[in-house]
């Protein structure tokens, strides 16, 4: 994410109705909302904020023709979703006035999501129904799960194989929620320690699901899968699926597109709060920015807890799960300078990309983080800089599409890709 735009992300849940809807559609919609609302109530979840009556906010992909144009677009954007290296594309959120402004300026754009709040609302309604049903283990990854459900699932995994897995609380969030991790290891002394974390950014829900799912595959697959058994006998894995629990709860309950933690009324981007090159390019000192770095390195308890874990453990490998864009990034994030392990890091990333492609044919492009855009104070840079840990960011599915709101049918295939990357990295380094 680039320094934006003061990154307000207007948030809240918006009304789905549009004047052009046919009457029948409207009635079905009202019925759906009522049922959904009932589901929310029955699930004991606070109702989302009153949907605002303003026009829709749309996500568009733009390829600015100059850096000047790019800056003007960013200044106008309500939110920045993603930046892409191919032709320097930007995915931004704009309101109707913003779209009209683009047209006036003659700036071409591709519409990704016509109404981002309607998409989020539809997802919320679907989830309200899903929450009423108790999933069987086979159904667990067919839908997104909230913080409490994910944390409870870690306990289930540990109870299934107490000889392989145990739950640890590595610290607490600003609002006092536990940062719960699953430590997984087979038999014998591990030759490699590996950290996999998800959910540093609240709205990137697929990353929390993939983290949990990788843990699930390893724990439940150990008994019957020779490859997984060998892997876990040699590698000790710590999986922290939700690194930003307060933000995640806020994203479920109030603002689907919330990114940061819940510091003050603005939040801090945890992936700008780590102590390597803290304060540099691609981070902001403006609390309203989506890439606000906080008052000091490790000012945020979530980042400090990860630091303490990393210092205590000495991981040889690390994957930081994010979304979206289908990218494999390696250090550095903050500078164009080649890291001294550039060749090794890109060989490892090439191996991961091949393993991912072998799953469902999806391509993940690889590059140093900075080639995407500069970002200072990231977890990946700090782990690599601090301990020379082979560290990567994986931007999971989708490539564009509906951005952070990925259809639930894609959780399992994306997990296949995440697991393939974890196994490829661990096997290369053990």
Q: Which of 283, 284, 378, 389 binds ligand 0X9 (CB under 6 A)?
A: 378
Question: How many positions of this chain bind ligand 0X9 (CB under 6 A)?
Answer: 17
Task: Label residues 242-263 b or e (16+ Cβ within 10 Å = b).
Answer: bbbbbbbbbbbbebbbbbbbbb
Site string for ligand 0X9, 268-307 (x = CB under 6 A): ---x------------------------------------
Among 183, 193, 217, 322, binds Zn ion (CB under 5 A): 322
Q: Strands (DSSP E) along 287-419, which ranges?
A: 317-323, 327-330, 365-368, 390-396
Residue 167 in 3-state DSSP? strand
Size of residue set near Zn ion by CB under 5 A: 3
DSSP-based three-state secondary structure for 384: helix
Smallest gap from Cβ 199 to Zn ion, in A, equals 9
**Sequence-distant (≥ 6) Cβ neighbours of residue 233 within 8 angstroms:** 186, 187, 188
The values of phi and psi at residue 416, to 5°, are -55, -40
By a kind-dependent CB cut-off of 5 to 8 A, residue 373 interacts, out of Zn ion, ligand 0X9, none, with ligand 0X9
Contact flag: residue 183 with Zn ion (CB under 5 A): no
- Using rule CB under 5 A, residue 57 touches Zn ion: no
Q: Is 9 in the site for ligand 0X9 (CB under 6 A)?
A: no
Rounded Cα distance between 362 and 353, Å, is 9
Whole-number CA gyration radius for the chain: 21
Closer of 374 and 398 to ligand 0X9 (Cβ) = 374
Give me the catalytic one of 395, 409, 417, 427: 395
Does position 326 bind ligand 0X9 by CB under 6 A? no
Is residue 287 within 8 Å of residue 37, measured between CB atoms?
no
- Are residues 410 and 396 in contact, defined by beta-carbon separation less than 8 angstroms? no
Which residue, 253 or 395, has its beta carbon nearer to ligand 0X9?
395
Q: Give whichever of 205 and 222 is closer to ligand 0X9, judged by the CB atom.
A: 205
- List the beta bridge partners of residue 395: 322, 327
- From 22-30, 297-305, 337-345, 367-375, give the range in contact with ligand 0X9 by CB under 6 A: 367-375
Given strand 89-95, what is the order of strands in its sheet?
79-84, 89-95, 57-62, 109-113
330 lies in the binding site for Zn ion (CB under 5 A):
no
Nearer Cβ to Zn ion (118/173): 173
197 makes contact with ligand 0X9 (CB under 6 A): no
Residue of 346, 396, 430 lying closest to 214 (CA atoms): 396
395 a catalytic residue: yes
Q: In whole angstroms, how close is the CB of 242 to ligand 0X9 at the nearest point?
A: 15
Least Å distance between CB 112 and ligand 0X9?
14
CA angle at residue 306 from 305 to 310, to 5 degrees? 120
Question: Closest residue (Cβ) to ligand 0X9?
Answer: 369
Rounded CA separation 10/270 (Å): 20
Q: What does 375 bind: ligand 0X9, Zn ion, none (CB cut-off 5 to 8 Å by kind)?
A: ligand 0X9
Q: How far is the CB of 201 from ligand 0X9 (least distance, A)?
A: 5
Q: Give 284's DSSP letter.
A: B
Residue among 309, 290, 326, 428 nearest 379 (CA): 309
397 binds Zn ion (CB under 5 A): no
- Measured from the CB atom, the residue of 125 and 393 that comes closer to ligand 0X9 is 393
Contact call for residues 168 and 180 (beta carbons, < 8 A): yes
Query: Which helix or strand (DSSP H or E) is residue 116 part of?
Result: helix 116-132
Helix (H/G/I), strand (E/B), else coil: 179? strand
Q: What are phi and psi of 7, to 5 degrees?
A: 55, 45
Min dist CB 282 to ligand 0X9, Å, is 6
Interface residue with ligand 0X9 among 373, 384, 392, 404 (CB under 6 A) is 373
61 near Zn ion, rule: CB under 5 A: no
The answer to whether residue 272 forms part of the interface with Zn ion (CB under 5 A) is: no
Residue 201 contacts Zn ion per CB under 5 A:
yes
Select 39 or 267, whichever has its Cβ closest to ligand 0X9.
267
Q: Which residues of the shown chain bind ligand 0X9 in the complex (CB under 6 A)?
A: 1, 82, 201, 204, 271, 322, 329, 333, 369-370, 372-375, 378, 393, 395
Name the residues annotated as catalytic: 395
Interface ranges with Zn ion (CB under 5 A): 201, 204, 322
């Amino acid at each position: 994410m680039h320094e934006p735009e003061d990154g307000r992300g207007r948030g809240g849940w918006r009304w789905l109705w549009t004047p052009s809807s046919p009457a029948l559609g409207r009635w079905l919609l009202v019925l759906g909302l009522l049922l959904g609302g009932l589901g929310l109530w029955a699930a004991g979840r606070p109702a989302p904020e009153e949907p605002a009556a303003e026009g829709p906010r749309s996500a568009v992909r733009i390829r600015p023709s100059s850096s000047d144009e790019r800056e003007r677009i960013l200044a106008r954007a309500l939110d920045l979703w993603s930046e892409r290296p191919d032709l320097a594309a930007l995915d931004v959120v704009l309101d109707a006035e913003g779209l009209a402004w683009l047209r006036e300026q003659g700036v071409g754009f591709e519409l990704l999501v016509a109404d981002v709040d309607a998409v989020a609302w539809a997802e919320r309604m679907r989830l309200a129904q899903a929450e009423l049903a108790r999933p069987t283990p086979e159904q667990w990854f067919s839908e997104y799960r909230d913080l409490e459900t994910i944390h409870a699932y870690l306990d289930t995994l540990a109870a299934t194989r107490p000889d392989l897995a145990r739950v640890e609380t590595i610290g607490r969030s600003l609002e006092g929620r536990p940062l719960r991790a699953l430590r997984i290891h087979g038999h014998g002394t591990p030759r490699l320690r590996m950290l996999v974390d998800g959910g540093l950014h609240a709205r990137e829900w697929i990353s929390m699901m993939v983290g949990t799912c990788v843990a699930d595959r390893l724990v439940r697959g150990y008994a019957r899968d020779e490859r997984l058994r060998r892997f876990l006998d040699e590698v000790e894995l710590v999986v922290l699926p939700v690194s930003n629990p307060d933000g995640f709860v806020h994203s479920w309950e109030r603002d689907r597109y919330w990114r940061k933690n819940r510091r003050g009324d603005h939040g801090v981007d945890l992936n700008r709060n780590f102590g390597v090159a803290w304060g540099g390019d691609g981070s902001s000192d403006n609390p309203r920015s989506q890439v606000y770095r906080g008052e000091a390195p490790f000012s945020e308890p979530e980042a400090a807890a990860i630091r303490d874990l990393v210092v205590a453990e000495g991981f040889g490998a690390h994957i930081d799960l994010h979304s979206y864009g289908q990218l494999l990034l390696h250090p550095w994030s903050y500078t164009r300078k080649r890291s001294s392990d550039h060749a090794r890091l890109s060989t490892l990333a090439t191996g991961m990309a091949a393993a991912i492609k072998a799953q469902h044919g999806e391509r993940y492009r690889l590059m140093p983080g900075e080639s995407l855009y500069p970002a200072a104070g990231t977890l990946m840079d700090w782990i690599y800089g601090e301990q020379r840990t082979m560290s990567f960011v994986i931007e999971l599915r989708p490539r564009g599409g509906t951005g952070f709101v990925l259809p639930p049918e894609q959780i399992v295939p994306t997990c296949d890709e995440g697991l393939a990357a974890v196994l490829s990295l661990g096997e290369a380094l053990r």
